[in-house]
Structure 1
Amino acid sequence: MSHDEFDLPPLSPDEIHIWRCRWAGGAGERAFAGLLRRYAGDEDVAIARGEHGKPLFRSPHDTLGFNWSHSGDVALLAVGRGPEGFEVGVDVEAVRPRARALELSQRFFAPEETACLRALGEGARLQGFLTLWTAKEAVLKAHGGGLSYGLHRVSFTLGDEGAVPARFDGDVGQAGEWQVHRLALNEGLVSAVAWRGEKRTLRVFTFPL
């Protein structure tokens, strides 16, 4: 399906739209670029890159924040409207065995997060690790600093609804200023979306290629 063959759902300021599609051969990135231009209302707008590689629109389209992520053949795009410079981040990870999850946590996560993972049973530890990882990535991608900012500088607790912001450090802002939500996709994927500001309604769509 071409990106201009269907009606684009209206995006209100109190929503975040999540698009899911296949990534194969870069098809997802091409589909997302077409969707984003339609959201911007400008077929010629160029997708620029921030200092750390984050895709973005320059003024006058910088009220449209967006981010994408892919793992294997699955890709996600998050889009939202806000004030100038509004940003949103999304991350998705395929669930696969990670024998070094606890070691990675000790190296890159906050000490209290590692302690939480260590206390989990073997079966729950991988899910907990990926829940924390995707939440951290989503926040840091929205912030624009990416992994170079430091995963340990945004720490979370694990709750029934996923990762809950606990303590953020530096210009990323206070933990309470952020919205971080787990996305329910399927059992083989763990994903999170994050933005700074008030709560919004999440709407999930599928883009068939």
Structure 2
Amino acid sequence: MQTIECQDVAGIAAGLSEATIHVWRLRYERVQRRGPLRALLALYLGAPAESIIFVENEHGRPELATPWRGQLQFNWSHSGDAALVTIARRLAPGVDIERVRARPRAMHVAERFFHSHETAALAALEPSRRDQAFLQLWTGKEAVLKAMGRGIAFGLDRLCLAVAPAAPRVLWLDGDDATQWQLHALSLDADHLASVAWRGPALSVAAWTLADST
């Protein structure tokens, strides 16, 4: 992912069209709360960061408040010292990032919470490949649920995704047409996995790293 200086973001923001999804990787500390998200969206809107106010839907998904409401759709996720922000126009994206680490209880979690087809696909993998496949599956589910404006309380077993090494894809989604959904794995680094999802046509996904201002 190309590293972009803060002063150059506005030029990239100008290229955000209805045919593209923008994804930004940021350095993050939990004490910053939504500060980095607010600052990035301000660059897209050409507004002071302090003017960016959020409202939440009934499930806690943040959205822009008036007067910016409807101008951009976005979602964000953070894990450890890394955060991802995805920005779009006219459709609601979802994103999730997770740190790569050993998951000794992966199959237990899958058997309890995932769709049975996903659990079977994970069980069929060699143990050395299972942790990464589980994590990619997890980020994919989170991304779809966040794009829906929901969270994991919706039910992780109410959607079924293709399991790596198959290409990311929504196979089934309770109450919706799975063919209308797009799901992409994001290449970050050896320490993180991430996914971005949205309901709508296939779009171009462009990703950058925002330079650390400190």
- Is TM-score (shorter-chain normalized) higher than 0.5? yes
Q: Distance in 2 between matches of 1:28 and 1:19?
A: 17
Work out which of the residue numbers 77, 100, 106 in structure 1 matches 2:111.
Answer: 106
Q: Distance in 2 between matches of 1:178 and 1:58?
A: 26
- For 1:178, the equivalent position in structure 2 comes to 181
Q: Is the 8 A contact 2:21 2:206 kept in 1?
A: yes
Asked if residue 5 in structure 1 is aligned to residue 33 in structure 2, the reply is no
Q: CA shift at 1:159, angstroms?
A: 4.8
Work out which of the residue numbers 47, 69, 72 in structure 1 matches 2:54.
Answer: 47
Alignment of 1:80-159 (within 5 A): 80-82=88-90, 86-159=91-164
Work out which of the residue numbers 196, 200, 203 in structure 1 matches 2:199.
Answer: 196
CA gap of 1:187–1:152, structure 2 versus 1, over 3 A, is: same
Q: CA shift at 1:90, angstroms?
A: 0.2
Q: Is the 8 A contact 1:23 1:29 kept in 2?
A: no
Q: CA shift at 1:174, angstroms?
A: 1.3
Asked if residue 73 in structure 1 is aligned to residue 81 in structure 2, the reply is yes
User: Which sections of structure 1, spanning at least 5 residues, go unmatched?
Assistant: none
Q: Distance in 2 between matches of 1:57 and 1:46?
A: 6
Q: Distance in 1 between matches of 2:164 and 2:103?
A: 22
> 1:103 is paired with a residue of what secondary structure?
helix
Instruction: Kindly provide the amino acid, as one letter, of the partner of residue 53 in structure 2.
Output: A
Q: Is the 8 A contact 1:131 1:162 kept in 2?
A: no
Q: Deviations over 1:63-88 (max 9, x none)?
A: 41111111111110000001xxx311
Q: Is the 8 A contact 1:89 1:193 kept in 2?
A: yes
- For 2:190, the equivalent position in structure 1 comes to 187
TM-score by length of 2: 0.87
Q: CA shift at 1:29, angstroms?
A: 3.4
Q: Distance in 1 between matches of 2:98 and 2:167?
A: 14
Asked if residue 57 in structure 1 is aligned to residue 47 in structure 2, the reply is no
Q: Distance in 2 between matches of 1:4 and 1:103?
A: 43
Fraction of identical pairs, as percent: 39
Larger mean CA deviation between 151-160 and 117-126 belongs to 151-160
CA gap of 1:63–1:7, structure 2 versus 1, over 3 A, is: closer
TM-score by length of 1: 0.89
Q: Distance in 1 between matches of 2:115 and 2:63?
A: 29
